[in-house]
Structure formats: structure tokens, C-alpha cells
Amino acid sequence: MKGRIAVAAGDGIGPEVMREARAVLDAIAARFGHSFEYVDIDAGGAALDKYGIPLPAEALETARACDALLLSAVGGPRWDTLPGRLRPEQALLGLRAGLGAYANLRPARLMPPLRAACPLKDEVLCASNPQGTPAFDILFVRELTGGIYFGERGREGNRAFDTESYTWDEIERILRVGFEAAKARSKKVTVVDKANILESSRLWREAAEAVAKDFPDINLDFLYVDNAAMQLVRAPGRFDVVVTSNLFGDILSDEAAALTGSIGMLPSASLGAGAGMYEPVHGSAPDIAGQDAANPLGMILSAAMLLRHSFHLEREARAVEDAAAAVLEAGFRTPDLCRGAPGERPVGTRAMGAAVREAL
Ligand code: NAD
């Protein structure tokens, strides 16, 4: 197949991890007989430096015209003092909204070779896992284009406010993504909210009860977000699919990321009506930029999600995921994954990417 991919290499470690993800896609194209065309776009700090705005209209248009968007991460201290509407993160919000990408899928799985990188004790991991092994496999389904990140905000004198607001339709469509995903997994959906306090959360619960009627095989339960944050470190194996709002999903998925060993491991897909957007969960990590120290696996696994969800190339997506698992099994570790365990082979960003391509 022929595919056109918009690429935003971003800021900080972004260009380093993007280089490796593109090289992996090229290796997939060569091995499976596909051709991928890349179209670079400027977004975030890179766009601010060139055009004085975080997301030029042409960048969004280009992304819309492509089959998918691969984005690394934006932001950094150089742009931290700019006013809100000029912050690099506005590019993310603009791209997500502009592509109608309302469903953010964030898998958080503890891969067996990384057991030592998970800070939880065996007994904690085993007790909550139905299989009784020290593992967990959670899919966060985060609402991405509504809620407090897009609600009315402002200042009045010495008061500042942000607004959490959801419509039934916005909630229902993200719940359906979660229930559908649960069908192919352990058939359990947990809706995380704060329904004891927030009216918007009470609407989430009503919508979830209504949608659940269409999925009689799926188990539905509810957790308050404070309890969910605690259960993630006390019983991560109790979760299968977690569906939640933009704000709660942002926070909880980062917490889960820490349990998988490193935030550098985690991919995400943002899906909706238009081109899908694929990005690692991590930020631009300015503290390690330019040092060949970034873990490229979150970015590479995001490219695997692109192959699966935008190009429907399941075999190719699995080949990338299997290659990533194989390099971890073989002991390759970027600095964020090194725990001084026997058999570890410390490597930099380039060598990790090369190892994945070699495994492919
Ligand atoms: P961050 O994710 O960039 O970094 C947090 C910590 O994780 C740092 O210690 C960093 O070195 C480490 N880390 C992150 N990615 C890594 C990787 N691939 N390999 C190894 N270590 C990795 O979050 P932050 O420090 O809160 O934010 C830094 C900048 O990134 C800020 O400007 C922030 O606004 C931006 N940010 C962007 C996104 C995005 O583009 N989606 C997401 C979060 C933060």
C-alpha cells in the first residue's frame, strides 16, 4: 500500500525519537512491500521559532490532507514564559481538535522483561492479576477534545477559572470506543469520574449505564478518580479498559506509565473522524535532549499503532511490537530503563532504534 504520513518532529528529544520511528517504518515498508511518503510539518516550539505561532494553518491543513499524523512531543523551557495562547502545547490541542481526534487510546502494559523497572512488589502485582502473575495490561481510553482543557477559562480581577463541561454525545461516543475495545480484551470497562462531587461526572455515569445496555457481555464498574489513583498502585491488575475524561485520563495514564518502567515506553493513538494522530505519552524531555539518551520505544510503538489503526496493517504493527519486545528480552536498555540488573545492555537512542530494526 501507499500511505502519506504527516510528521511533526517537535522539540527537545522529539527529532531524535522521530528519526528512529521513521527508520522503523521504512524498514517495515521495505520488508512488506509498502511505500510511505512523509510530509514534515512545524508544530510547537519549532513553529514558534519560525512563524511566531505554535500551529500555522498550513500545518493543520497538511495533517488533515494526509492519512495519519505522527507527532513526537512539543514544548520546552525556552517557550515557558509565553502567554497561554502562544504556548507550544496549544499546537497539540489545535491538532487534536482540528483532526476531530476525540478518542485517545493509551495502552499501559508491564512487559515481562521490564519487571525490574516496575516499582511495585510482586505480591501487589500478583494479587490483583486474575492470572496470578506479576503483570498488568490496561488500556486507557481518554476523552481528548472536550472537558476542562477546552472549556471556558479566564481571569476576573484576582480570580481565575477553568470550566469542565461535557455533552451527552461527547461522553457517549468515547464510552462506545471503550466498550468496543473491551470486546477484544478481558471484557471489563471501568469508568473513572468524581461523581460524588461533579455534575459532569454524574452525566458520565448516566451515559455509561445507558451505553452498557448495548454491550451485555461487558462488565461495567465505576471508580472515583482519587480511588482509581490509589488502586493503580495497589491493584493494577484489576483494570482492563479505563474510560475517563480528558483531565483524569491525562493524570492517570502518566501514573500508569511510571508502573510500566518508564514514560519513554508508552505509545498513544488519537482517533476520530479524520486522520489518526499518533504520539508517545512522554513530553519533550528537555533535560536529556541532544544526548542520545532518550528511549525511542514509545515513539516506535506509536508508529506501530499508526500501522494498525490508520493503515489496518495488523501483521506489520505486530512485527514492530514483537521487535520491541525482542530487544527488551535481549537486554537492551536506554538509561531510563537501566536498573543495574544482570544481563542489561545499556544503549543510546540510536542503538536502541537500530536494535529494533535488526530484530525486524
Ligand atoms: P516529560 O515527559 O518531557 O519528562 C518527564 C521525565 O521523563 C523527564 O525526566 C524526562 O527526561 C523523562 N522522559 C520523558 N520521555 C523520555 C524518553 N523518551 N526517554 C527517557 N526519558 C524520558 O515531561 P515534563 O518534564 O513535564 O515536560 C517537558 C516539556 O514537555 C514541557 O515543555 C511540557 O509542556 C512538554 N510536554 C509535552 C507533551 C506532548 O508534546 N505531548 C506531553 C507532556 C509534556
Tell me whether residue 110 is in a domain: no
| Cα(39)–Cα(6) distance, integer angstroms | 5
DSSP-assigned states of every residue in 312-350:
--HHHHHHHHHHHHHHHHTTEE-GGG----TT-EE--HH
Indicate if 141 and 81 belong to the same structural domain. no
Tell me whether residue 112 is in a domain: no
Coil/strand/helix, residue 139: strand
Residue tagged active-site, from 102, 149, 166, 278: 149
**pLDDT of residue 107 exceeding 90:** yes
Tell me whether residue 113 is in a domain: no
**pLDDT of residue 46 exceeding 90:** yes
Indicate if 277 and 299 belong to the same structural domain. yes
Specify whether 254 is catalytic: yes
State the pTM of this model: 0.90
Indicate if 294 and 317 belong to the same structural domain. yes
Query: Does the C-beta of 8 come closer than 6 Å to ligand 1?
Result: no
Among 56, 27, 26, 28, which residue's Cα sits nearest to residue 44?
Answer: 56
Domain count, the chain: 2
Indicate if 283 and 167 belong to the same structural domain. no
Query: Does the C-beta of 297 come closer than 6 Å to ligand 1?
Result: no
Tell me what the mean pLDDT of segment 54-81 comes to. Answer: 97
Indicate if 126 and 214 belong to the same structural domain. yes
Indicate if 229 and 249 belong to the same structural domain. yes
- Residues sharing a CB contact under 8 Å with residue 245, sequence separation 6 or more, in sequence order: 142, 143, 146, 147, 148, 164, 166, 192, 193, 200, 201, 204
**pLDDT of residue 84 exceeding 90:** no
Element (H, E) at 156: strand 153-156
Indicate if 297 and 239 belong to the same structural domain. no
Indicate if 36 and 88 belong to the same structural domain. yes
Indicate if 234 and 127 belong to the same structural domain. yes
pLDDT at 199: 98
**pLDDT of residue 112 exceeding 90:** no
Last residue in a domain, options 259, 281, 310: 259
Q: Cell 462531587 appears where?
A: 197
Parent domain of 187 = 119-259
Residue 109's φ and ψ, nearest 5 degrees, are -125, 135
Query: Cα(first)–Cα(last) distance of the chain, in Å?
Result: 19
Indicate if 64 and 178 belong to the same structural domain. no
Residue tagged active-site, from 102, 250, 278, 336: 250
Write the CATH number for 187. 3.40.718.10
Last residue in a domain, options 259, 287, 317: 259
